Structure 1
Amino acid sequence: MTIPPKDLLSSSGLVIVDKPAGMTSHDVVGKLRRAFSTRRVGHAGTLDPMATGVLIVGLERGTKFLAHMVASTKSYSATIRLGQATTTDDKEGTRISCADANVLAQLDDAAIHDALTHFRGQIMQRPAKVSAIKINGKRAHERVRAGEDVVIPARPVEIMRFEILEIRRGTDTAVPVEYSDEIPPAPADEVGFIDIDVEVDCSSGTYIRSLARDLGEHLNVGGHLTQLRRTAVGPFTLDDALPLDALEENPVLSLSLDESLIRCYPTLEITEAEAADLAKGQWLQPRKLTGVHAAVAPNGQAIALVKEQGKRLASVFVARPSTL
C-alpha cells in the first residue's frame, strides 16, 4: 500500500474571523498565533477596535497570499449619529459640537435621504485624522496622539451603495465638552440626535467614519459613527466568518491555500507538466487571458497566480513552489 505524501501546505490558508468589539486587529493576530501555535500569522484590512465583523487573517504561506488577495470592495452595516461631531469622527472621540434640538427637528427624513445621493458614486473623501494612513513614514493616528495637527489630503473612493435602513430620533443630556464655531452649543437638556442605520458597499480604502462626518457636515448638524460592522471583504462574507473564541477553542482554517486562490480569482486548468514548470518559477505559453488567474493542476491544487506579460504567461505568486 502506497502512503500519499503529506501536504506540507495543509496548515496554510486563510481564517475569516468575526472580530469582536474592543480588540485591535493586531490583538486578534496575537490570539490566533497562540491558538494555531505559529508566528506566521498576518491580517489584511485593519478594523478599528470599536468595529466588528469580517477580518481576513492569513496563516503560514497564506500570509504571503494576503498581498495578492482580491478585495477591491467591502460592505458594512453602520449607525451614524447626526447632530453631534467628535474629534475622531466616531464614538471613541471627544464630542466637539452639538446641533440645537430645534435645528434637528426641522431636518426631516426626506432631507436625510436626499443627502445620501451626494455620497454615492465616485467621490473625493478626506480620511479621518486618526486613521492608519502613513504620513512621512508615521501613521496619522500616532501623529495626532503626539499633538500634531494632521491634514490628510482627500482621495478618490467609490460608494456603490449607501442606503438607509432606519431613522431614529432621541435626546442626550450629556454636556458637550467642546464646541466648534460653526455649530453653537445647545443647552444640556436640549441636546438631540438622529441615529440612522445604514448599509454601505464601497471601494477598498473608504472610511465609514469619514462618511459619517461628511454627511453630518453636509446637513450642517455634525455627525459621527457609533456602530460599525464589516459584512464582506471581496468574496468573503460573514457566512465564512467564525467567532474568535470559537477559533481559540478549535483552531481550524476557513479556507485552504488552494481554496483561497480559487475563491479570489478565475481559474485556469493546467497540466501536470505545466504545474511542475510554474512550481519552479518558469513561465508558460500565453493563453490570451485577461487579468490574473489561479492556475489549477489536475489534482485540484492551485499552483500559482499567473498573468500574461508580453509573450509569456508568468507567475505573480507561486503558492506551491517546488522547494517545499
Structure 2
Amino acid sequence: MSDTSPQGVLVCDKPQGLTSHGVVSRIRRWYGTRKVGHAGTLDPMATGVLVLGLGRGTKLLGYITGVSKTYLATIRLGSATPTDDADSEPDLFAEASALSAVTDTRIAQGVSALTGPIDQVPSAVSAIKVNGQRSYARVRAGEEVELKARRVEISRFSILGTRYSVSEGHIDVDVEVDCSSGTYVRALARDLGGNLGVYGHLTALRRTRVGAFGIDDAVTIPEDLDTAAPALTSLAEVARTLLPSVHVDAGEAKALMQGKTVTTDRSPQESGEVVVICDEELVSIAEVRAGGVLKSQTAFAIDLA
C-alpha cells in the first residue's frame, strides 16, 4: 500500500524567538504529519535556514547535519553574557581603557587567529550532552560545566563592518562566517572578545546556508497554518546534493529493496556510499562493494519491497 503522507525536505526561514522544536511543531500542523525532524538546531535568538525532513526525508537529516554552513552575525565587543549571546544579560564588562585600545587592525588580527582549523570550546549553554544530560540543563541547575575543545574548520571569517561606540561601552563587528558542522558562532564571539581582552558575545545571528540550501530557497512559516503548504524538495533532488549518485533500472531497484545485491559498472566510485536513483525516485543509499556490487543500507522506495 502506497504511503500518501508528505515525503521530502523543506527549507524554512526560522523566525527569531522560536525554538527549532517549535518550528517542527508548526510544520507538523502545516503539513498534517507527525514525522518531521530538523537537521541542526538554531538557537531561539537566531534566524535563517533550518532544513526539515518530512516522512522518509528524516532519513537524510543525518547527512545534512554534517555539511558546512554560512552565517551572518554581529559580535559585540565590550561585554560577555552567560550564554555568549543576547538571550541573557551581560554580566562581565571590559575596562574602558582596554576597549579604547581596540583598533581595526587588532580586530582583523583576532579574526585571522580564529580562521582555519581551530580547537573550539563550545558554549556551556548548549545542547551537547554531558554524562547523558544536556549541557544547558546542567548550567541552569547551577553546575559549573567545562566542555572539551573540538576541532572545527572556519574556512571564512570576513569582517563586513565595524561600529565603534566606546563611550557606550561596546564595539559592534558585523561578520560573515563559513564553517564546518559543529561550530558555535557565539563561541567565536566569546573567543574574539577574550583574545582582545574586552569580552564578547553575539547580538545577532542569521544562518544563510546549510550545504546546498541557501536562504533564497527558504520559505516563511505563515501565521495561518491553513495556508496551502508549498511543495517539498524531492528526496532524489536532496540526496544528489549529499552523495554521488548512480542510476538503476526498475528491476535493479526492486532487487535492492528486497535486500539483494546488484552489480553495476555505473557507480561513480569504487567504495563508500552512493545515492541510488530510478526514474528520478530515490531508491536507497547503498554501500559500494568490490566489483561494483551495491548493497542497500537505507531504503526509501518502500513500495518496491
Interval of TM-score (by shorter of Structure 1 and Structure 2)? over 0.9
Assess if the C-alpha contact under 8 Å between 1:104 and 1:192 holds in 2.
yes
Pairwise CA distance, 1:216? 0.5
CA separation in 1, counterparts of 2:72 and 2:35?
31
Q: Which amino acid aligns with 2:128?
A: I
Is 1:300 equivalent to 2:277 in the alignment? no
Whose radius of gyration is greater, 1 or 2? 1
| Offset from partner CA, 1:87-132 (integer Å, 9 cap, x none) | 1111112312211333222211011111111111111000001100
User: Is residue 2:149 matched to residue 1:158?
Assistant: no
The residue identity in structure 1 corresponding to 2:162 is I
5+ residue gaps, structure 1, are 1-5, 172-189
Q: 1:313 to 1:289 in 2, by over 3 A?
A: same
Deviation at 1:57, TM superposition (A): 0.8
Q: How does 1:36-47 map to 2 (within 5 A)?
A: 36-47=31-42
Q: Deviations over 1:218-256 (max 9, x none)?
A: 111100001000011111111111011179322123302
Q: Quick one: distance in 2 between partners of 1:69 and 1:292?
A: 15
- 1:124-139, aligned counterparts within 5 Å? 124-139=119-134
Partners in 2 of 1:293 and 1:200 — Cα distance?
Answer: 30
Structure 2: runs of 5+ lacking an equivalent: none
Q: Following the alignment from structure 2 to structure 1, what is the Cα–Cα distance between the partners of residues 171 and 158?
A: 16
Which residue is equivalent to 1:13?
A: 8
Percent identity, aligned pairs only, is 44
Q: CA RMSD in A?
A: 2.0
Distance 1:148 1:16 in 2: 36
- Give the whole-Å Cα distance in 2 for the aligned partners of 1:206 and 1:17: 21
Q: How does 1:66-215 map to 2 (within 5 A)?
A: 66-69=61-64, 71-170=66-165, 190-215=167-192
Counterpart for residue 240 of structure 1: 217
Separation of aligned partners in 2, 1:237 and 1:198: 17
Match of 1:268 among 246, 271, 278: 246
State how 1:225-236 maps to structure 2 within 5 Å: 225-236=202-213
Which residue identity does 1:263 align to in structure 2?
A: T
Residue type of the partner of 1:296? I
**Which residue of 2 is the match for residue 53 of structure 1?**
48
CA distance in 2, matches of 1:292, 1:235: 19
Shift of 1:321: 2.2
Q: CA distance change for structure 1 residues 263 and 132 in 2, over 3 Å: closer, same or farther?
A: same
> CA separation in 2, counterparts of 1:133 and 1:196?
27
Q: What is the aligned partner in structure 2 of residue 186 from structure 1?
A: none
Aligned residue for 2:198? 221
In structure 2, the residue matched to 1:282 is 260
Q: Is the 8 A contact 1:29 1:41 kept in 2?
A: yes
Counterpart code for 2:157: F
How far is the alpha carbon of 1:50 from its aligned partner? 0.3
Q: Name the structure 1 match of 2:58.
A: 63
CA distances 1:45-67 after superposition (whole Å, capped 9, x unpaired): 00000000000111111122212
Contact 1:276 1:322 in 2 (8 A): no
Q: Distance in 2 between matches of 1:128 and 1:247?
A: 35
Whether the aligned pair in 2 keeps the contact of 1:209 and 1:225 (CA below 8 Å) is: yes
Residue 228 of structure 2: aligned partner: 250
* Equivalent residues, number: 300
Q: TM-score, normalised by structure 2?
A: 0.92
Q: Which amino acid aligns with 2:240?
A: I
Aligned residues of 1:40 and 1:60 also touching (Cα < 8 A): yes
1:33 aligns with 2:52: no
**Runs ≥4 residues deviating over 6 A:** none
